[in-house]
Amino acid sequence: MSENNKQKAVLSVTEDIRAKILDGTYPEGMALSQVDIASTYQVSRTPVREALQILAGEELVEIRDTGRATVTTISPESFLEKCELRALIEVKLLELSIPLMGAEDIAKARELNESLKKCAPEEWTPLNYLFHEILYKPANRPLMQNVIKDLHHRHYARLKSFILSHRNTPRSLREHDELIDRCERQDIEGACYALESHIMMSAYALAEQLKSQQLKRRQTASL
């Protein structure tokens, strides 16, 4: 296999396995056999090994000393840390955005929050991301926004069904309304405090529920 073809194979295998981990097709703890993967994609084990190394760097796969690879379990601690990072960046983005917000930005945020009030469950996550994105767009900080996008689309995606089943929708929507009102009033300090609270209160609750769910799963497995 030429170097060019090998890199294409690595990219293809990486993207497909990543997608299957993120959508839950490959669940937490699932063993990823290099032999089976190579057979499935009709490639040698070399691109498979490189693909798994890339996914390990993204915290989606764990590779043991023996070379055995498994889909990582999402730890409540890791989830919380990502939420803390998200809060730090999003609060700064909002602080930079508010002085630059116009009536059109506020109107778009209100429109998206109204859509969230009526949306189907499967539409919640992408619409919620768009709601937050609209608030930060005036800041024009593409690097910071890309970090947030990566957190949402790679890490939160694995918890999509869990978040949907445990979210407090009425509270989230009320907090969105309060956030929009503070932005409209140019209340930077109040809006930033409201945003940090909005992100972290939800994060703490979800982390506890995730911890409880994993404990129950371990107890069931030991019976």
Segment 3-25, tens digit of pLDDT? 677 788 899 999 999 989 888 88
* Residue 44 DSSP symbol: -
Report the C-alpha gap between 87 and 85 in whole angstroms. 5
Write the class of the CATH domain 3-71: mainly alpha
Look-up: residue for tokens 């002085």? 99
Q: Where are the domains of the chain?
A: 3-71, 76-222
Calculate helix-pair angle for 3-22, 34-41, nearest 10 degrees.
Answer: 110
pLDDT single digits (tens) 70-114: 998 888 898 899 999 999 999 999 999 999 999 999 999 999 999
Burial of residue 198, with CB atoms counted within 10 A of its CB: 0-12 exposed, 13-18 middle, 19 or more buried: buried
The candidate with the shortest Cα–Cα distance to 47, out of 57, 56, 37, is 37
Provide the CATH number for the domain formed by 76-222 in this structure: 1.20.120.530
Instruction: Please indicate, yes or no, whether the overall pTM of this predicted structure exceeds 0.95.
Output: no
Q: Computed over its alpha carbons, how large is the radius of gyration of the chain?
A: 20
Residue with the bigger pLDDT between 93 and 28: it is 93
